[in-house]
Chain A
Amino acid sequence: MAAKFLPYLLAGISVGGQYALIAIGYTMVYGILRLINFAHGDIFTVAGFLMVYATASLPLTVSIPLVIAATVLLGIAVEKVAYKPLRTAPRMSVMISAIGMSYLLQNLMWYVTGGLAKQYPALPWISDTVTVLGCQTKRVTVITPFLVIVLVAALVTLIQKTKIGMAMRAASRDFETAQLMGIKINNVISFTFAVGSFLAAIGSMMYFSNYTAVTPTVGAMPGLKAFVAAVFGGIGSIPGAVIGGFLIGICESLIKGAGATTFSDAFTFALLIVVLAVKPTGLFSENLTEKV
């Protein structure tokens, strides 16, 4: 029984870790701007494509940092182009702009790649096959959860101990007061997008090492699921997003294992609706004021 169960659990933990990395990006942006960054899933996909193109001509030691840097810049650029001009606009406008941005990025990727699925390069070491308790899998499956924990620990330290982290916390508590206190809010927001995109780039490396075909729309589903994970954990809460990510990844994988494969996606959204209806602030929500 355990031998049957284990592969699903492993796959679930791995994909859950990748959801978690994307979910952090959502939850941080939402915490500060109260905005669902619909383009986040597409930034994740762009990172995948950049890697495909970068490794075609450059060695890995150059292309990995290059891809991360480019993704971070893209995240900041998206914010500057699509969200900054709408800072004072109603929330609905900003969300529409986010949807438009996602539409644009997808179409642009389609145009550049010609719509063909690209094979993600095999990263040495993490793409190797290993045997865990009698079942074969890629090393990245095993590494992902640990990497997520390390990154989250670093992120939490950043937010708790550094000056920019304090500014971020202040901005997420009260946007306007933070501004009054002399916090350069635009820098804080750019920094938030940079961190989110950085994690999305790392997530995309993990994700595509396992699931190696990159297409323009491949990020949409993981993006939505990561958002569900963020809501599930209580939006604005980083540990919440991580736990939500793992939980959704594992549940999904187990449902597939139970034979109800048709409904594995539906489950995620059903979970979302149930969570929102029962405890709209999620499991670990931080501040309760004026959210739902």
Chain B
Amino acid sequence: MKAFISRRDFLKAAGVTAAAAALAGCSSSSGSASGSAAGGKTIKIGVFEPASGDNGAGGKQEVLAIEYANSIAPTVDIGGETYNVELVEVDNQSSTDKAVTAAQELVSKKVSIVLGNYGSGCSIAAAPTFQAASIPAIGCSCTNPAVTEANPYYFRVCFLDPFQGSVMASFAKDQFGASNAYVLSMLGEDYGSGLATYFVNAFEALGGTVTNEQFPEGTSDFSAYIQNAINAGADVIFAPCATTYAAQIITQAASAGFDKPITAGDTWESSVILDAQKGTDVQVYCSTFFDENDDSGIAKEFVTGFKEWLNADSQKLTNNGGNDIVAAVSALGYDGYMVALEAIKAAGSTDGTAIRDALYGVNYDGVTGSITFDQTTGDANKDMAYIKKAADGAFEFVKTQSVED
């Protein structure tokens, strides 16, 4: 109980200091201390990510990589002049109704380009705000097609849900010879149910049969769903959902003795999954954007550098989920930042529309592969996904998978 009491005292103290800070008019812009080169001009990059809510964990990993990228490349040359890059971070609380004010906050701070969001819902909600202010945005890991559709200011560096769904369907068939799949997603969540639909369509097109079910938000008892999968005679489970639920699904599959593979999309590449899988016999596979053990120069350089940077600060390590595993979303965040710098350089201006126009011409060799943008939608042109398997506390690279034609 002592901890509680002292916390209350802390609250009081914090209230006073916070008020003092506000009075002193100190700047509360966060991120790395990149404004060190005094006198230089600055360009602001907005970081529109969740630090709380359902996607808070993933959002933090993405932000960390953006901060890391900023520490690697703190300046950018615009028209022969060196500008300091300042990150402006806002928390959109993973909620579409908070996303608009968060986006507006970035607009009011006059950022030149925005990175984010982790999930698709908030990106879609914020897109009109950025568009109205003529600020281009680069989605890092939002995979829903609707994000960039009909919005000339939204780009993204990751692949799309229809692609990812088809990839996982092909993988299930190629790898396991599966003909009967059980698909489980969360009711009311656009990411999971979207991915589920694309998987179902692709899997059925490949001649398989599917049982498709949804669970309500807040569910923690998945034993009935696992049982449904067993009863349906599934060869494979495809369960794209938030990691919170994923952990439950895995542990309960283990306790129900489910011995078939469980597959999912990119969100599952997380330490939460590893913790849940550790010590069980459940086979867990997920698709993802990059391979952290890839030997090709850039990826390796990023992984070692980022790990070193994380390990130097315990708070950063906590934000990354308590370990130094490099998540795919971190790689995407890093690439997003670098692509933004390329575009700013190419545009030679801090003006949003100029940067937008320059983005279409960017060709950047990133951690997650080479990145060019589709000239109509602004999506990155990607044609393969990395499949990984969770095994005893680490992700093993299985194969790269592309869609069967």
Classify A-B as touching or not with yes or no (CB < 8 A): yes
| Interface residues in chain A, defined as those with a beta carbon under 8 Å from any beta carbon in chain B | 4, 7-8, 10-11, 15, 70, 73-74, 77, 110, 114-117, 119, 129, 135-138, 207, 210-213, 215, 217-218, 220-222, 252-253, 256-257, 259, 261-262, 264-266
Contact status A135-B248, CB under 8 Å: no
Does B255 interact with chain A (Cβ within 8 Å)? yes
Q: Output the nearest chain B residue to A18 by Cβ-Cβ distance.
A: B221
B residues 210-248 in Cβ contact with A at 8 Å: 213-216, 218-225, 227-228, 231, 243-245, 247-248
A-B contact pairs, 12 of them (CB 8 A): A11-B224, A119-B272, A137-B223, A212-B247, A213-B272, A217-B218, A252-B221, A256-B228, A261-B214, A261-B228, A262-B216, A264-B216
A257 partner, pick from B227, B248, B257, B318, beta carbons under 8 A = B227
Contact status B255-A136, CB under 8 Å: yes
Does B1 interact with chain A (Cβ within 8 Å)? yes
For residue B52, give the distance in angstroms from its CB to the closest CB of chain A: 5
Residues of A within 8 A of B215 (CB): 261
Question: What is the CA–CA distance of A212 and B275 in the complex, to the nearest angstrom?
Answer: 11
Q: Output the nearest chain A residue to B257 by Cβ-Cβ distance.
A: A136
Q: Output the nearest chain B residue to A119 by Cβ-Cβ distance.
A: B275
Does B172 interact with chain A (Cβ within 8 Å)? no
Question: What is the CA–CA distance of A137 and B254 in the complex, to the nearest angstrom?
Answer: 9
Contact status A115-B52, CB under 8 Å: yes
Residues of B within 8 A of A73 (CB): 1
Contact status B214-A212, CB under 8 Å: no
Residues of B within 8 A of A259 (CB): 213, 228
For residue A130, give the distance in angstroms from its CB to the closest CB of chain B: 9
Contact status A7-B1, CB under 8 Å: no
With known contacts A4-B231, A136-B256, A218-B218, A116–B225 Cβ distance under 8 A: no
Contact status B276-A119, CB under 8 Å: yes
Question: What is the CA–CA distance of A135 and B53 in the complex, to the nearest angstrom?
Answer: 36
Residues of B within 8 A of A261 (CB): 213-216, 224-225, 228
Does B34 interact with chain A (Cβ within 8 Å)? no
With known contacts A7-B227, A212-B248, A259-B228, A218–B220 Cβ distance under 8 A: yes
Residues of A within 8 A of B401 (CB): none
B57, B224, B321, most chain A CB atoms within 10 A: B224
For residue B276, give the distance in angstroms from its CB to the closest CB of chain A: 7
Question: What is the CA–CA distance of A115 and B225 in the complex, to the nearest angstrom?
Answer: 26
Interface residues of chain B: helix, strand, loop or mixed (majority): helix
Contact status A116-B252, CB under 8 Å: no
Contact status A253-B214, CB under 8 Å: no
User: Would you list the 3 A-B pairs with minimal beta carbon distance, nearest first?
Assistant: A211-B220, A221-B218, A256-B224
Q: Output the nearest chain B residue to A7 by Cβ-Cβ distance.
A: B227
Contact status A220-B218, CB under 8 Å: yes
Interface size class of B (residues with CB under 8 A): 35 or more
Q: Output the nearest chain B residue to A218 by Cβ-Cβ distance.
A: B220
For residue A19, give the distance in angstroms from its CB to the closest CB of chain B: 11
For residue B330, give the distance in angstroms from its CB to the closest CB of chain A: 15
Q: Output the nearest chain A residue to B231 by Cβ-Cβ distance.
A: A4
With known contacts A129-B255, A265-B216, A8–B247 Cβ distance under 8 A: no
Contact status A110-B247, CB under 8 Å: no
Q: Output the nearest chain A residue to B279 by Cβ-Cβ distance.
A: A122
Q: Output the nearest chain B residue to A140 by Cβ-Cβ distance.
A: B255
B residues 26-84 in Cβ contact with A at 8 Å: 51-53, 56-57, 60
B244 partner, pick from A4, A15, A117, A253, beta carbons under 8 A = A117
For residue A127, give the distance in angstroms from its CB to the closest CB of chain B: 8
Question: What is the CA–CA distance of A8 and B213 in the complex, to the nearest angstrom?
Answer: 16
Contact status B224-A8, CB under 8 Å: yes
Question: What is the CA–CA distance of A208 and B244 in the complex, to the nearest angstrom?
Answer: 13
Does B377 interact with chain A (Cβ within 8 Å)? no
Does B251 interact with chain A (Cβ within 8 Å)? yes
With known contacts A8-B227, A117-B244, A117-B247, A213–B213 Cβ distance under 8 A: no
Question: What is the CA–CA distance of A10 and B227 in the complex, to the nearest angstrom?
Answer: 11
A74, A210, A217, A218, most chain B CB atoms within 10 A: A210
Question: What is the CA–CA distance of A10 and B319 in the complex, to the nearest angstrom?
Answer: 38
Q: Output the nearest chain B residue to A117 by Cβ-Cβ distance.
A: B244
For residue A257, give the distance in angstroms from its CB to the closest CB of chain B: 5
A213 partner, pick from B187, B227, B248, beta carbons under 8 A = B248
Residues of A within 8 A of B321 (CB): 116
Question: What is the CA–CA distance of A210 and B253 in the complex, to the nearest angstrom?
Answer: 11
Q: Output the nearest chain B residue to A10 by Cβ-Cβ distance.
A: B223
B256 partner, pick from A7, A212, A252, beta carbons under 8 A = A7
For residue A261, give the distance in angstroms from its CB to the closest CB of chain B: 5
B residues 74-99 in Cβ contact with A at 8 Å: none
For residue A188, give the distance in angstroms from its CB to the closest CB of chain B: 22
Residues of A within 8 A of B51 (CB): 115
Residues of B within 8 A of A135 (CB): 256
For residue A132, give the distance in angstroms from its CB to the closest CB of chain B: 11
Q: Output the nearest chain B residue to A70 by Cβ-Cβ distance.
A: B1
Residues of B within 8 A of A265 (CB): 216, 218-219
For residue A189, give the distance in angstroms from its CB to the closest CB of chain B: 19
B247 partner, pick from A70, A119, A129, A262, beta carbons under 8 A = A119
Q: Output the nearest chain A residue to B280 by Cβ-Cβ distance.
A: A129
| Other A-B pairs beyond A4-B231, A7-B223, A116-B57, 10, CB < 8 Å | A7-B227, A11-B224, A73-B1, A77-B4, A114-B318, A117-B244, A136-B256, A207-B220, A210-B255, A211-B220
For residue A86, give the distance in angstroms from its CB to the closest CB of chain B: 20
A262 partner, pick from B52, B187, B251, beta carbons under 8 A = B187
Contact status B56-A256, CB under 8 Å: no
For residue B24, give the distance in angstroms from its CB to the closest CB of chain A: 24
A115, A138, A222, most chain B CB atoms within 10 A: A115
Contact status A213-B244, CB under 8 Å: yes
Contact status B223-A257, CB under 8 Å: no
With known contacts A119-B276, A261-B215, A211–B252 Cβ distance under 8 A: yes
For residue A18, give the distance in angstroms from its CB to the closest CB of chain B: 9
